[in-house]
Structure 1
Amino acid sequence: MLLPQVASATTYQPTGPIERRYAADGPWATATMVTRPCDREGNVCDIWYPSDLGSNPLKQETTGFHHPAIVFADGTSDGITADYAAFFLRHLASWGFIVIRSRDGATGQGDTVLDTASFLLDLAKNTGSIFYEKVDADNVGLVGHSQGAATTTLLFSRNTPIFKTYVPIETPIRPFCVIAKCTIDLGALAKVTHGSILYIGGDLDAASSLPTNLGYYAPTSSKIDKVMGMIAGGSHGEIQGNPGCESVGIPLYCNIGAYPLLGYPTAWFMWKLQNAADGPAAFSENGELSHAAPNWLGVLSNVRNR
């Protein structure tokens, strides 16, 4: 019996033209900073951002561009380090986003995540900040990993007004969230009226398997755009690749690295926060992710061609 070949860091290649486009670095050079404490728990924030703030090379604009923002919610940890998911987050910044995360390893109900978003928006109002009048407050997204993915889905279920779109990556099984205080009300998912969501799991991730992700996707309201996809051969820690798994150092926790997370999550945020025209072609029920992405399994979508 022939089995499908599992992708590895050396074999994973984006296949469709949209995935290939966004898996490559974007046109913005990037910079990074560490801030003062930015949330109620006293955690510092890391910010990845385009070094030429206010420019938009995609539109040949040198000034006046307001950058959409992405907040990242970390997975469970007693101490988040600066390099946690850093390759992935820097990649998003190369596509024009200002990306911020608190080093909170227990995001739970999302209080520190909301603090982090407010911290960035306050910087955008501070005349002494490099982000003064550089942030598009109407286009803020949320992405999270593991416990942070559960927090992301939880805030989505509450119609949190500050966030326009959500990407939970490796959302864990519900018993974990009982312990971590990030339990998602499935009934609330059916009542969502605001935003959009892209659920991502790994088909070798016991904590975020196909049934687990389907258990979140299925009850999610069909009144908003919702998509689900599983990384073929993906485990729980791919997002920590730099970009490969060598630096992760935990067997079977990272099989491929960050490579599969560069293309479609970036394409999603470009569609939802920067109005990229190729979003429906990537994510519709007849789109590239569903029919031309062999490295992805179990894809479901309610997005219509537009």
Structure 2
Amino acid sequence: MRWSLIGALSAMLLAQPVTAATYQPNGPIERRYAADGPWATTTIVSNGACDREGNVCDIWYPSNLGANPLKRMADGFRHPVIVFANGTADTVPADKNAYFLRHLASWGFIVIRSRDGSTGQGDTVADAAKYLLGLSRDPQSVFYGKVDADNIGLAGHSQGAATATLLFSRNDTLFKTYVPIETPLRVVCVVANCTIDLGALPQVTRGSIFYVGGDADVISSLPTNLGYYTPTSDAVDKVMGMIALGGHTEIEGSPDCAPGGIPGSCNIGVYPLLGYPTAWFMWKLQGAADGPAAFGADGELAHASPEWLGVLSNVRPR
């Protein structure tokens, strides 16, 4: 079934024109967060399974845990967490999306993802978060006492983006904010068991969400993202933005698109995903003061054309 889904998606992507593109961050907020943060990073693999399906987890984290150069703290800082939900795959290699995930860690986050390629209803995603929380309570772990359990965010790509939106729609109490990247058509999720109940989105009362799509991505087009953004409750902060010329797999760039991929699937590389998603997590999980200036209805992202299109926001001035 999974290979049938991949084949169908590949056929859709092959129908798209191949367009090479370059990307430059627009405003000062995006430029700040598109650059690497002040933390050096380390990457490890879990000792054994981290989820109910027996997958291992990859973890990217600040090498000097407990320090915060932004606050001039040498110790005592508890790091927020970002869990990542993968897109559909039979196997998830260790280096998949690694450039993007390491970038987040350079801004002080502990980033963890299970190598599950079928995140569906989100069980293995929650397992990964709970695995890290368990390490934070283990005196023998490098993460002991270093995790901010009250500030956990969830990012996801493709099927993983649908998983993130699904958990958001359920008012999940584990995650505080969400960044779904290239959330697919609902028909895709009928196959992948990640269907989002649109009727639940107006009932959301907690969290916040930043929908990211690509205007060259037929799987996560402007109408598809509008279909999720529009019914989402105004009781929470919600933002939507479409990457101009963005294909479905820009997030896999390292940082450029890999040669020989599906034509039209990656046109730019990971560059447009470094700045604003990082800024969102910095605002929502680390309390960065520039969040409203970046994401307000008249904020920097709203004026980021031609690189970003279709921007919508209900974020009010703070």
Give your verdict on TM over 0.5.
yes
What is the number of equivalent residue pairs in this alignment? Answer: 299
Of 9, 14, 19, which aligns to 2:30?
19
Superposition pairs of residues 102-113 of structure 1, within 5 angstroms: 102-113=114-125
Deviates more, 1:81-90 or 1:286-295: 286-295
TM-fit CA distance, 1:246: 2.4
Contact 1:68 1:135 in 2 (8 A): yes
Instruction: Indicate the SS of the match to 1:187.
Output: coil
How far apart, CA to CA, are the structure 2 residues paired with 1:248 and 1:275?
Answer: 40
Question: What CA deviation, in whole Å up to 9, does each residue of 1:168-188 have, x standing for no partner?
Answer: 000000001001000000011
**Large movers: runs of 4+ above 3 Å:** none
Q: One-letter code of the match for 1:22?
A: Y
Question: What CA deviation, in whole Å up to 9, does each residue of 1:160-213 have, x standing for no partner?
Answer: 001000000000000010010000000111100010000000000000000000
Superposition pairs of residues 96-175 of structure 1, within 5 angstroms: 96-175=108-187
**1:63: which partner in 2?**
75
TM-fit CA distance, 1:251: 1.9
**2:7: which partner in 1?**
none
Instruction: Indicate the SS of the match to 2:152.
Output: strand
TM-fit CA distance, 1:7: 6.8
Whether 1:282 aligns to 2:288 is: no
TM-fit CA distance, 1:250: 2.5
Superposition pairs of residues 1-306 of structure 1, within 5 angstroms: 8=21, 11-35=22-46, 36-246=48-258, 249-306=261-318
How far apart, CA to CA, are the structure 2 residues paired with 1:278 and 1:14?
Answer: 16
Instruction: Indicate the SS of the match to 1:58.
Output: helix
Q: TM-score, normalising length from structure 1?
A: 0.96
TM-fit CA distance, 1:249: 2.5
Contact 1:7 1:295 in 2 (8 A): no
**1:3: which partner in 2?**
none
Deviates more, 1:291-300 or 1:72-81: 291-300
Q: One-letter code of the match for 1:265?
A: P
How far apart, CA to CA, are the structure 1 residues paired with 2:258 and 2:110?
Answer: 27
TM-fit CA distance, 1:247: 5.0
Q: TM-score, normalising length from structure 2?
A: 0.93
How far apart, CA to CA, are the structure 2 residues paired with 1:57 and 1:120?
Answer: 23
Which runs of no fewer than 5 residues in structure 2 stay unpaired? 1-18
How far apart, CA to CA, are the structure 2 residues paired with 1:84 and 1:142?
Answer: 17
How far apart, CA to CA, are the structure 2 residues paired with 1:56 and 1:201?
Answer: 32
